[in-house]
């Protein structure tokens, strides 16, 4: 089964938004707000929806932070992490899915890096943000228009 995941990397006032997973094998792992792309849904729409569902925040997608690929139980997973900013809402989430939503400093992020669900993509997004090295969002739109 192929799987596509969309998430958001959000920075505000020098802190980064993380969620703590509360289900299954990933319980207790920190992650960015993220989840599966539903059938018929554009990937950036999935990132916006998942961020709202997992944090209560409404966001605007700015750029592409990073793209990653991994194989889990022989199933390929492709993920896109978008750089986003909050445009509304307040922290509110389903405690069965997420046990905590937290803003962390870069130092705190480094302290928990070995407990990140997708360590390398999150750290790559942090590096890309610091270096202003994101992929323009219109890259997806241009590709989509050519298909």
> What is the number of other CB atoms lying within 10 angstroms of the CB of residue 108?
15
Pair 63, 140: CB distance under 8 Å? no
Q: Model's pTM, two decimal places?
A: 0.92
Residue with more model confidence, 146 or 7: 7
State how beta strands 75-89 and 15-21 pair. Answer: unpaired
Question: Which CATH code fits 3-146?
Answer: 3.90.79.10
- What does R_g of the chain's alpha carbons equal in angstroms? 14
62-89: per-residue pLDDT in tens? Answer: 999 999 998 878 889 899 999 999 999 9
22-66: per-residue pLDDT in tens? Answer: 999 999 999 999 999 999 999 999 999 999 999 999 999 999 999
115-145: per-residue pLDDT in tens? Answer: 999 999 999 999 999 999 999 988 877 777 7
Residue spans of beta strands (DSSP E) within 25-97? 30-31, 34-36, 57-72, 75-89
At 125, list the tokens. 């997004």
Q: What pLDDT shows up at residue 2?
A: 66
Alpha helices in the chain (DSSP H): 43-55, 106-111, 119-130, 138-146
16-33: per-residue pLDDT in tens? Answer: 999 999 999 999 999 999
Residue 1 has pLDDT above 60, yes or no: no
Q: What pLDDT shows up at residue 141?
A: 75
At 135, list the tokens. 């992929």
Distance in angstroms (rounded) separating the CA atoms of residues 106 and 27: 22
């Amino acid at each position: 089964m192929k799987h596509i995941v969309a998430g958001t990397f959000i920075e505000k006032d020098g802190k980064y938004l993380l969620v703590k997973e509360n289900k299954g094998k990933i319980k207790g792992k920190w992650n960015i707000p993220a989840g599966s792309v539903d059938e018929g849904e554009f990937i950036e729409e999935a990132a916006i929806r998942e961020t709202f569902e997992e944090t209560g925040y409404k966001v605007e997608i700015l750029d592409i932070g990073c793209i990653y690929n991994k194989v889990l139980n022989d199933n390929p997973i492709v993920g896109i992490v978008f750089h986003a900013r909050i445009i509304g809402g307040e922290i509110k989430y389903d405690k069965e899915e997420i046990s905590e939503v937290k803003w962390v400093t870069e130092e705190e992020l480094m302290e928990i890096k070995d407990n990140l669900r997708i360590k390398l993509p999150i750290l790559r997004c942090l590096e890309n943000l610091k270096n202003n090295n994101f992929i323009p969002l219109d890259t997806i739109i241009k590709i989509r228009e050519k298909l």
